[in-house]
Amino acid sequence: MPDTTSSMSPTITSMIRLDHMHVLAAFHRYHADSPWWRKRAIVNSTCAALEIHAQLEEEIFYPALATVLTDDPTLSKSRPEHSEMRATIGRLRTMGPENAAYDGLFQQLIREVMHHVADEETVLLPAAERALTGELRSLGARMTRRRLQLLGERPREIAVNTAGTFPVATFVIASLAVLGITHCLPKSGRLRRDTD
């Protein structure tokens, strides 16, 4: 019986491109004059997304690509670039937004990621789309399952950072949820007894 999950899944290359767009959008939300709590939320959210993305690529994408691209220099330098990125993330996590070096270190992370994304977008993803055509959806399904596992390990961190990154949207959604809950609850004094 065919795996319908795989046939309905986005391709792994589409998922990687979406991850890249998500992180680039996060970079654009960061401003040196933002409040410290928003800076921290954006940095923490971006770092978590980058860590998960790198792990997914290392576990699923790079091994699949290595079977068809032997001795490719771009693929060979991808893992070391992830290690460099993780080192920068580690340094960011040891300091807070009140540190004068925080903005500069986040800018360094942006530069590292932009260089890495450019290599993947121009070399690795097109190569995968040519060489792994029949496997792209099944690899995408594997990536989706693994991503859900990794996200499930950090629910509180993701919720807190999302709230800090998008404070207005979080307030609106929370307000609507509270209004919806209170609307569904019975109001005291409105309950009637049948006396017949």
The residues near 168 (Cβ < 8 Å, ≥ 6 apart) are none
- On whether residue 192 sits in a domain, the answer given is no
- Number of domains comprising the chain: 1
- On whether residue 23 sits in a domain, the answer given is yes
- On whether residue 145 sits in a domain, the answer given is yes
**How do the pLDDT tens digits run along the chain, 196 residues long?**
445 555 688 999 999 999 999 999 989 999 999 999 889 989 999 999 999 999 999 999 999 999 998 889 999 999 999 999 999 999 999 999 999 999 999 999 999 999 999 999 999 999 999 999 999 999 999 999 999 999 887 766 666 666 666 655 555 555 555 556 665 666 554 445 555 4
- On whether residue 196 sits in a domain, the answer given is no
3-state class percentages of the chain: helix first, strand second, coil last, to nearest 5: 80, 0, 20
Q: What is the dihedral of CA 12, 114, 33, 95, to 10 degrees?
A: 90
Closest CA to 45 of 58, 31, 27, 61: 27
- On whether residue 140 sits in a domain, the answer given is yes
- On whether residue 65 sits in a domain, the answer given is yes
Domain range spanning residue 95? 4-184
Report the distance separating Cα 103 and Cα 67, nearest Å. 40
The residues near 186 (Cβ < 8 Å, ≥ 6 apart) are none
pTM score: 0.77
- pLDDT given at position 174: 54
- pLDDT given at position 70: 87
